Structure 1
Amino acid sequence: MSTGPDVKATVGDISNDGNLNMAQEECSRKGFCSVRHGLALILQLCNFSIYTQQMNLSIAIPAMVNNTAPPSQPNASTEWPSTDSQDYWNETLKEFKAMAPAYDWSPEIQGIILSSLNYGSFLAPIPSGYVAGIFGAKYVVGAGLFISSFLTLFIPLAANAGVALLIVLRIVQGIAQVMVLTGQYSIWVKWAPPLERSQLTTIAGSGSMLGSFIVLLVGGLLCQTIGWPYVFYIFGGIGCACCLLWFPLIYDDPVNHPFISAAEKRYIVCSLAQQSGILSALPFVVGCICIILGGLLADFLLSRKILRLITIRKLFTAIGVLFPSVILVSLPWVRSSHSMTMTFLVLSSAISSFCESGALVNFLDIAPRYTGFLKGLLQVFAHIAGAISPTAAGFFISQDSEFGWRNVFLLSAAVNISGLVFYLIFGRADVQDWAKEQTFTHL
């Protein structure tokens, strides 16, 4: 027999579901013409700016340390008649190039300058996320974007002033960029309906890939034509222009947004009022704890010489892949039990965290000299997976609404196990020959 509170809860759920369905029907007509999708596009531009600012020094530094002239152009008189406008343009380009100095930096100094962007970054994510939760992501992300963009404009001046100032500037810039990359996820807590969370976050995250593509495409051309300082001026200016969109148009909460329609506001608020926040966060909380415990266990086994390093890496990876894959494949058969589903999801997140002490840290063992590059390569594949997986999931679900998720989990398990087999066969834990430091003997 239902009690009074149970009846009230049931009525409330029906009312919320009714409002949600009505608002969803009204908002579905708008498609991508909504404030939340506009927010995703602005965040896409922010990520575009941040990633171009992360990579611009890597593109410009060959021109900064080499004072070689660009390849000579074909003789215009043999192909095309010379014109005054062409001569003027050529002279202008020469003037721009003359303003770009070259520096006598050794390879070691270049490596320190390039890696200095990450010196403070590993300390910044946790306080950035905390501050974003307290003061609002709008100001944390906006401040980080402005600081990074503003400092990008001053990189040519800092390079002229000296290596020490350039390194300090890059450290501060790296912390500011982490503020953008981590703080933006606090925005989606109040803006992304559960059914659109993957869509909105991937739209915003795609700016990172676009930024990497554009800066690689045009960065070298800018250095060759008008000089390397303009790589920083242009992409720093784009970031500053993005700030002009960010502060007046972005709000932490749809309730306080002045331009959002009543229907969209009601849809977002009702969709987020289903009391799923704690349940959604629970697997990540348990996973965070298990990552620490897994690391302690791995170090204990290694320090006591119970297992060899390669055995620890492969064992932890196998545990972190096999058991979560079995759990994911089993999920469609326990969907009738809400508590069992949550238990399986928590177990999957907890056990998969063992990979952090396995394959995901293995690059430190095999190539400590190139850890920054290998970590960046790992992040590239992570972004690619993040871009492909929502699309693949949407395809399977649209083909078969009943068994779509089962196919998604089966495909995920197949990919995981294939990667595990490859790692178990080819994985190593000793420093590779190509990654060893070259030593010179002085006679």
Structure 2
Amino acid sequence: MSLCVNISIAIVVMVNNYVSSPGISGFNQTHSNFTSQHNLKQDKVYDWSPDTQGWILSAFYYGYSVFQIASGFVADRVGGKLLVGGGVLGSAVPTLLIPLAADLGASYVIALRVLAGLVESSILPAISAVWSEWAPTLERSRLLGIVYSGMYFGIFISLPISGAICYHVGWAYSFYIIGACGVVWSLLWFWIASDRPETHRSISAAEREYIIASLRGQVSPHEGDIPWLSIMKSAAVWAIIISYWGCDTFHYFLTTMLPTYMEEILRFDIQQTGLSSSIPFIASWLLVIFGGELADYLIKSQNFSTLAVRKGCIVSGLWISGIFIAVTGYVEDYKLTVAFVTISTATSAISESAIYVNCLDLTLKYSGIIFGITNTISITPGMLWPVIVKHVTQNHTIEEWRTVFGVIAALNVLCSLIYAIFGKAETQPWAAEEN
């Protein structure tokens, strides 16, 4: 995630409107340390229009949408190790080249971001393939919750680090340092990771046998024909797709546009922007883990139905998230703004984590395919929102941002209603043979 979102911070100081943005008259700005601006490390700036900035921020997701489903098929057949490591390495190299590309023009930056997204699109499906060989059945939900929560932890770490690097060293080094970290991580992954317990060099024999025994007899996702038509006609599948699309609409807005809002409206300097933008994601990281534990507890110990728990998490999470993000545009205290965004992000993350598991509720055999389809469709907000928001907020006014927050809130509520009506949590008829 660091390779994906660091540009959201860097672009604040890459363009020439950073020091000239007028802010909002009457907005409570006493928190912002304007006198520290002269300490900002001066670096090259570019005359990129708001629309161009939007295309730069969204370019990653155009590439990211391409190989989601195909990568799942490949990973299931050859293993996920090479795809995960190659995805990180292939995204790190274009990140290292962005400072050079920026001198050549915005179109070169856009091309590199598309390439990074194209390569990185293999990572999530490949991670699923890796866990299909490593996660014992009774530990799968907990392990997947911890793993997917790492996306939020990555954002939490990278945003303040990127802000500090931009402030003290220069924005170019945020790409050099984070890109280099990606290269080092991928090399360590290739050295340490293994597709299967049987081929790992350092786990104990007892652990190896335990994992293998717990997964013995699991159904391969490629045994028999895939009921594509039944899957695409399933209202329960579309409930997952639409609710996940709502979560990602909010998620991609935060990762790409929240730093811009904090600079333009709250008048944070780049360090404050990086730190404050990261706070919502540490809350999300913790609540995703807690939400998975709570869901299992309610189902196992309190006799709640699986459907009641799934709807409770997804519907309430989207509603609460929508309400708080709508109110955020009318709050004139920066502490309350950060608090409201944090609540919105954390509750949305609970919804998202419940959706991951809901794919398994409908079918074990085809859950990876459903997730691939869902993730492919849910990437569209990442493509569209940066361009739309940059176009709508060209005058940098709070009224424009209130419109954006209101639309996001309305979409959250609409998606939650669709899931409340059509969501299911039992094995579907087209997948019943796996019983």
TM range (shorter): 0.5 to 0.7
> Who is 1:256 aligned against?
199
User: Per the alignment, in what secondary structure is the counterpart of residue 184 of structure 1?
Assistant: helix
Partners of 2:46 and 2:201 in 1: how far apart? 51
Pick from 169, 180, 184 the counterpart of residue 127 of structure 2: 184
Pick from 353, 374, 389 the counterpart of residue 237 of structure 2: 353
Partners of 1:58 and 1:375 in 2: how far apart? 7
> Who is 1:61 aligned against?
11
Shift of residue 267 of structure 1? 0.3
Partners of 1:161 and 1:155 in 2: how far apart? 10
Within a 5 Å distance, the mapping from 1:237-252 to structure 2 comes to: 237-252=180-195
Shift of residue 351 of structure 1? 4.0
Shift of residue 266 of structure 1? 0.6
> Who is 2:219 aligned against?
277
Q: Which amino acid aligns with 1:251?
A: S
CA 1:201 to 1:123, structure 2 compared with 1: closer, same or farther past 3 Å?
same
| Residue 119 (structure 1) aligned with residue 62 (structure 2) | yes
Shift of residue 153 of structure 1? 1.2
- Partners of 1:137 and 1:183 within 8 A in 2: yes
Partners of 2:44 and 2:319 in 1: how far apart? 51
**Unaligned segments of structure 1, at least 5 residues:** 1-50, 75-89, 294-349, 424-433
> Who is 1:392 aligned against?
294
Shift of residue 103 of structure 1? 0.8
Shift of residue 363 of structure 1? 10
Partners of 1:396 and 1:358 in 2: how far apart? 25
> Who is 1:170 aligned against?
113
Shift of residue 396 of structure 1? 4.0
Q: Which has the higher contact order (CA 8 A, sep 6+)?
A: 2
Aligned alpha-carbon RMSD (Å): 4.2
- Partners of 2:62 and 2:114 within 8 A in 1: yes
CA 1:250 to 1:421, structure 2 compared with 1: closer, same or farther past 3 Å?
closer
CA 1:422 to 1:104, structure 2 compared with 1: closer, same or farther past 3 Å?
closer
> Who is 2:253 aligned against?
373
**More displaced stretch, 232-241 vs 261-270:** 232-241
User: Per the alignment, in what secondary structure is the counterpart of residue 194 of structure 2?
Assistant: coil
Within a 5 Å distance, the mapping from 1:8-157 to structure 2 comes to: 51-66=1-16, 68=19, 71-73=34-36, 97-98=41-42, 100-157=43-100
Partners of 1:384 and 1:205 in 2: how far apart? 11
Q: Deviations over 1:123-156 (max 9, x none)?
A: 2101211222233211111111111112211111
Q: Deviations over 1:97-143 (max 9, x none)?
A: 35x21111111111111111111222210121122223321111111
Shift of residue 182 of structure 1? 2.1
> Who is 1:292 aligned against?
232
> Who is 1:34 aligned against?
none
Aligned residues: 290
Pick from 172, 178, 197 the counterpart of residue 235 of structure 1: 178
CA 1:363 to 1:179, structure 2 compared with 1: closer, same or farther past 3 Å?
closer
Shift of residue 406 of structure 1? 3.3
CA 1:52 to 1:276, structure 2 compared with 1: closer, same or farther past 3 Å?
same
Shift of residue 291 of structure 1? 5.3
The sequence identity of aligned pairs, in percent, is 33
Pick from 411, 414, 418 the counterpart of residue 309 of structure 2: 411
Q: Please, what TM-score do these two structures have when normalized by structure 1?
A: 0.55
CA 1:362 to 1:223, structure 2 compared with 1: closer, same or farther past 3 Å?
closer
> Who is 2:413 aligned against?
none
User: Per the alignment, in what secondary structure is the counterpart of residue 276 of structure 1?
Assistant: coil
- Partners of 1:145 and 1:239 within 8 A in 2: yes
User: Per the alignment, in what secondary structure is the counterpart of residue 252 of structure 1?
Assistant: coil
User: Per the alignment, in what secondary structure is the counterpart of residue 406 of structure 1?
Assistant: coil
